[in-house]
A and B are shown apart, each in its own frame.
Chain A
Amino acid sequence: MEKIYSRTLTIQENKVSGFCPGCMHSTVIKLIGEAIDELGVIDKSVAITGIGCCGLHMDYIAYDNITAPHGRACAVATGIKRTSPDSLVFTYQGDGDFASIGLAESVSAANRGENFTVIFINNGIYGMTGGQMAPTTLLGMKATTAPKGRNAEEHGYPMHVCELLDQLTAPHYLERVSCNTPQNVIKTKNAIKKAFKYQLEGKGFSLVEIVTSCPTNWGLDPLDALDFIEQKMLPEYPLGVVRDKK
């Protein structure tokens, strides 16, 4: 029988994922693995993992990994890529990590046009610590530290990371994707592959923002979380290419 689909080699056999059921972190990790596999770059791939639920994949991936302090992944990536320019270097960070505590490191690396890739997981919440408000939390959305829901007067508005970085001259490629439908999953994988290719061509900074779910802290079952993405997240975070210098 013809084999048309199998486990990507970049995910180890017989290991257990630490993610909650229905969490899209695990989908994205699989897509990163497939992209690395298909590009044939496992021997040069390095992930800089932020602090958050993103850390739950470190046990079962097959490529090199280093954990950065909360928010500092882009600084750590700068040090690795500048001294090991042949490596494929990418950070894997949540919205609290990249866009709150790490905003200075994130924007500064983008502004320098560092030649690495950011995989940015926007689930609108602090997953790991139990559902506190993130810079990306939607207006009206409840969080444990905004029990009545986010309101603009007190908390300001959801942060649009791609559009924010689009104010800078240096970034090469910025795209927002999601994993809420099979089509969007394919688009996400293509965006990751494109960002990696640009890096391998030395084109400079690239970021793929992935709108994902956190069923656990959204208080929704995984299927309802898909509807929430479609109905609430995507109107705030429209999908598409924000910048592509080609």
Chain B
Amino acid sequence: MIDLSPLSDAVGTLFSDYDVLAAFWMTVKLTGFSLVGSLVLGTLLAVMRVSPIPSLQLGGAIYVNLVRNTPLTLIIVGCSLGLYTQLGLVLANPSSGTFIVDQNFRLAVVGLSLYHAAFVCEALRSGVNTVPLGQAEAARSIGLTFTQSLVLVVLPQAFRGAVAPLGNVIIALTKNTTVAATIGVAEASYLMKVMIEFRPDVLFLIFGVFALGFVCLVLPVGILMTALSRRLAVAR
């Protein structure tokens, strides 16, 4: 038998010296808030892009193509330097003792939401394409307005058709939260860098712990979304 006790001792000290769970909790919070933000903004963008109004279509297309093709790091750093340092956008209470932490967290959420909204928009548009034209025509033919047709008939089916691609966006978002470390948000990868600096002797162990942590976060999302996409699929 291989003696595993040195390994389990090392894991034990790592977990007692560093708050790994708190760091992953920060990752979860970043993911959750950014997901809500990007879903709201992404839906709006998708509505703009499928609307019959050319200026809205153009606005949506410009946003998506600009944001989607910009590195996330640039957007996050841009939020920090541009929105906060330059424009003075304050998202947290400046007199609170945790101002810097809160401010950075919220800036990161803004950046992640802005970025992933572009992908949510495209996932939804692919969902819209799964809805046959006849559905919207039937909706209009019973006297629903454009907005009613969209909200009552097209979007509900589009969301169902978009579950699988939306799942991919959530998975990417979860992993992309690590970029928030660049503006000092103490999420999982931030803690990992700190730990590697102080415990280079157990480098691979540290990698292993964080890789496993991310797999544990992301794997259920994938499984859940696949199951959901089957359950919600619109039978035609």
| B partners with A | no
A-side residues, CB < 8 A to B, are: none
B-side residues, CB < 8 A to A, are: none
